[in-house]
């Protein structure tokens, strides 16, 4: 059960509410690119406005390293939010100091103010108590809806949570339900699909999911390290030499729960223009590298996915950025989309891949957090969540 207070549990009428959102979106030429994260915060924003609150939104954007850097300004986001929500959005070009204070104080019920990038101040990442105190002084209540930042203990999400009555927004709640409860109480068969570049990034995920799933389907560069651990020559494939022992241990521990590709796509160079062929698993010829899983593997994985009830996916099956090596990832994406399952996808590149495949609508939940979703899959409690008030 969800143990934290949510915005349904508090009264917002006439209150100033500090809402930590995750508006860390791509900015190209001063304009917002993919606005998924902005749209994902709208249910919370709309609900709080309807309940009579004045909203003070905070977020970080990019990595300005504690300094004011115009390319990381949230000003384009204020403009974009205003267009998406169809009402004015005020903007204060500092989240601290007189500007923030005066604009927040003059804010009326039903109005929205976005404060400038929290990471323009050193105190944000240090979870500096003085910064948290100043942010908290702007409002009566704190709401955290920034799932993408919840794995960090920063001033604007963890520091403030302890200084004001607090609650989770709808996006945070939804992410926690899908990435937490769905996995903890999954309907079986429960299958995890894990890929991406490195085993070393995902050891915690594999270890946690081994104890929960019925099967783990491996793909991506990660598979190469397992193959190398089994003694195959991987030639120019991406292999993590220092993860070989870990790979061996995981293979021994997992038994046949861990499924590896039976065929792979090898390429003459790391490029979309490379010569390529599908080959059964075996030694990779000198000068070649594995860039995708093969058709037989896609078919085998698809049939397992089709019979499952719950699917969690993190990490592409190949170098999907190159169209010639995207077939494995898109094939598995299609299988997930076609299956009658509860499906959860997390990880920046995996989410980009499912969107590119045009199948995002067919998945039960697409996480807005990369690092945060990985930590959830590792079974960790996120500091941004832990800091919120219990029900
Ligand atoms: P996510 O962001 O979904 O967690 P990762 O960041 O772990 O995923 O991995 C994504 C990256 O893995 C992609 O850039 C992709 O090109 C790369 N990748 C997948 N398969 C291979 C492979 N066989 N060789 C090299 N890189 C690969
Ligand atoms: Mg990634």
Both 126 and 205 in one domain: the answer is no
Query: Which of 170, 204, 236 delimits the end of a domain?
Result: 170
Both 145 and 260 in one domain: the answer is no
Q: How many CB atoms lie within 10 A of CB 102?
A: 11
Query: Which of 170, 188, 218 delimits the end of a domain?
Result: 170
Both 85 and 210 in one domain: the answer is no
Does the residue 231 lie in any domain? Answer: yes
Using alpha carbons, select from 381, 387, 320 the residue that is nearest to residue 351: 320
Both 99 and 72 in one domain: the answer is yes
Q: DSSP characters for 140-166?
A: SEEEE--GGGTTS--IIIIIGGGTS-E
* Beta strand pairing call for 141-144 and 16-20: parallel
In angstroms, how far is CA 45 from the centroid of its own chain?
20
Using alpha carbons, select from 161, 160, 171, 164 the residue that is nearest to residue 23: 171
Rounded Cα distance between 170 and 163, Å, is 21
Does the residue 382 lie in any domain? Answer: no
The angle at the Cα of 280, spanning 219 to 348, to the nearest 5 degrees, equals: 15
Provide the CATH number for the domain around residue 148. Answer: 3.40.50.1260
Provide the pLDDT for residue 2.
74
Both 239 and 293 in one domain: the answer is yes
Q: How many CB atoms lie within 10 A of CB 181?
A: 12
Does the residue 360 lie in any domain? Answer: yes
Q: What is the mean pLDDT of the chain?
A: 97
Both 327 and 219 in one domain: the answer is yes
Tokens 């104080």, residue located: 105
Which ligand 1 atom is the nearest neighbour of the CA of 198?
7
Which ligand 1 atom is the nearest neighbour of the CA of 318?
20
- The tens digit of pLDDT for each residue in 279-293 reads 999 999 999 999 999
Which ligand 1 atom is the nearest neighbour of the CA of 353?
3
Range of the domain at 232: 177-377
- The tens digit of pLDDT for each residue in 23-70 reads 999 999 999 999 999 999 999 999 999 999 999 999 999 999 999 999
Question: 310 - beta bridge partners?
Answer: 190, 342
Both 187 and 165 in one domain: the answer is no
Query: Which of 142, 170, 198 delimits the end of a domain?
Result: 170
Provide the pLDDT for residue 23.
98
Both 72 and 163 in one domain: the answer is yes
Q: Is the pLDDT of residue 1 over 80?
A: no
What is the arrangement of strands in the sheet containing 289-293, beginning at the earlier edge strand? Answer: 276-280, 263-267, 289-293
Both 130 and 209 in one domain: the answer is no
- The answer to whether 210 touches 249, Cβ cutoff 8 Å, is no
- The tens digit of pLDDT for each residue in 74-120 reads 999 999 999 999 999 999 999 999 999 999 999 999 999 999 999 99
Q: Is the pLDDT of residue 389 over 80?
A: yes
The verdict on pTM exceeding 0.75 is yes
Task: Report the residue among 151, 197, 278 best suited for mutation to probe ligand 1: largest number of ligand atoms under 8 A from its CB.
Answer: 197
CA distances, 364 to each of 40, 311, 336, 369 (Å)? 14, 10, 10, 15
Does the residue 196 lie in any domain? Answer: yes
Does the residue 391 lie in any domain? Answer: no
Q: Is the pLDDT of residue 20 over 90?
A: yes
Both 217 and 103 in one domain: the answer is no
Ligand 1 binding site (Cβ under 6 Å of any ligand atom): 195-197, 201, 220-221, 238, 290-291, 314-316, 318-319, 321, 347-350, 370
β strands within the chain, DSSP E: 16-20, 27-28, 31-32, 54-58, 90-92, 112-115, 141-144, 166-168, 190-194, 215-218, 258-259, 263-267, 276-280, 289-293, 310-314, 342-346, 365-366
Which of 4, 16, 20, 37 is catalytic? The answer is: 37
Both 164 and 217 in one domain: the answer is no
Rounded Cα distance between 27 and 257, Å, is 42
For the chain, the domain total comes to 2
Both 164 and 181 in one domain: the answer is no
Does the residue 383 lie in any domain? Answer: no
Give the alpha-carbon dihedral of 333, 334, 339, 342, to 10 degrees: 30
Does the residue 387 lie in any domain? Answer: no
Does the residue 385 lie in any domain? Answer: no
Is residue 348 part of the annotated active site? The answer reads: yes
């Amino acid at each position: 059960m969800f143990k934290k207070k949510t915005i349904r549990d508090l009264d917002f009428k006439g209150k100033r509410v500090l809402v930590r959102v995750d508006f860390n979106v791509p900015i190209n030429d001063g304009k917002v690119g993919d606005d998924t994260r902005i749209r994902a915060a709208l249910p919370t924003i709309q609900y709080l406005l309807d309940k009579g609150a004045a909203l003070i939104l905070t977020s970080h954007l990019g990595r300005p390293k504690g300094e004011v850097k115009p390319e990381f300004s949230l000003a384009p986001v204020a403009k974009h939010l205003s267009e998406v929500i169809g009402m004015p959005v005020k903007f204060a070009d500092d989240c601290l100091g007189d500007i923030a204070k005066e604009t927040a104080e003059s804010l009326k019920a039903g109005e929205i103010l976005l404060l400038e990038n929290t990471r323009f101040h050193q105190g944000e990442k240090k979870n500096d108590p003085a910064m948290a105190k100043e942010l908290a002084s702007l409002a009566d209540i704190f709401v955290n809806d920034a799932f993408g930042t919840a794995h960090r203990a920063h001033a604007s999400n963890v520091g403030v949570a302890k200084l004001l009555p607090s609650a989770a927004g709808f996006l945070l709640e939804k992410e926690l339900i899908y990435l937490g409860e769905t996995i903890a109480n999954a309907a079986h068969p429960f299958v995890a699909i894990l890929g991406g570049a490195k085993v070393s990034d995902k050891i915690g995920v594999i270890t946690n999911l081994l104890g929960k799933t019925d099967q783990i389907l491996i793909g991506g560069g990660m598979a190469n390290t397992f193959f190398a651990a089994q003694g195959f020559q991987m030639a120019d494939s991406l292999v993590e030499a220092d993860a070989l022992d870990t790979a061996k241990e995981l293979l021994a521990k997992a038994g046949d729960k861990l499924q590896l590709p039976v065929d792979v796509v090898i390429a003459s160079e790391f490029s979309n223009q490379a010569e390529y062929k599908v080959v059964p698993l075996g030694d990779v010829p000198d000068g070649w590298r594995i860039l995708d899983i093969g058709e037989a593997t896609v078919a085998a994985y698809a049939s397992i996915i089709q019979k499952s009830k719950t699917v969690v996916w993190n990490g592409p099956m190949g170098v999907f950025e190159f169209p010639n090596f995207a077939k494995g990832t898109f094939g598995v994406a299609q299988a997930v989309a076609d299956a009658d399952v509860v499906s959860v996808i997390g990880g920046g590149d995996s989410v980009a891949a499912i969107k590119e495949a045009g199948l995002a609508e067919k998945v039960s939940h697409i996480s807005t957090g990369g690092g945060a979703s990985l930590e959830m899959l590792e079974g960790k409690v996120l500091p941004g969540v832990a800091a919120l008030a219990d029900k």
